[in-house]
Structure 1
């Protein structure tokens, strides 16, 4: 960060036990927020998969050209793989937080910093889970040939079999004829 210099030797982590405990608690708070943020990605990825699979009639899906079905399946698989990688990253954060809680008992701010931001910290050792989760989820979302309409309603499609309205999300693209 411009204007802020942190010593390389972690001498800024020396101080009273209260200040070290406060520093560790701050790291725990930040890591908790990080885990909650990434869990939102997991929820969005899995939610998108569930939404698509529950809203598209299977009998119409199998009538699509093979290339479209393969793209659709690849997109869903990639979004699922992205969600799994995000979950692995959250699990690594959780394990590191457990170690940082142990540091809180002894006020060992240096070790807590090493667990979070050191050479073997979360981002250095497990950041690839997050980066690949973002990539796979983005690519999967782009490959799945569906996009909700801006004016989607809770009852946007007519169900010919029952003669009434059925819930739908309203689709554009190659799958728009399915709903």
Structure 2
């Protein structure tokens, strides 16, 4: 679900006017949305210790049109909300030293890879790698069905983060 976010304010107005429920996500996979949740927690913890750095990498099939993926960009936003030293996203391959406030995303297009995302927190002492790998597209369908069931009877605009948070909080 890429390429329409510039229209989100207009969509929100339509949803409010129509008094319906609307749920959107960069990625409907349950695994990816649980991954976002974990990345958020670890970003917050690593930010408290100023000796960690963080970067994101993603790999998709060669037919994918966008780079970085909407999922990688959503991961970057998740990281930057909690890892306060990162202020901007660096999407291209750097030709010089990157600035400490830049969060680098590297994108690879390879064969028929459905989708792999990795967030790395690195320090001189250790490295923490969080990885999500989609094996097929079933996870997207399951997530969309669960989101639709969760949305039933609700009014307003929601994201998959709302679904995961409500499930996490019981």
TM-score for the superposition, normalised by structure 2: 0.23
| Structure of larger gyration radius | 1
The answer to which structure, 1 or 2, has the higher relative contact order (CA under 8 A, 6+ apart) is 2
TM-score for the superposition, normalised by structure 1: 0.22
More helix by percentage: 1
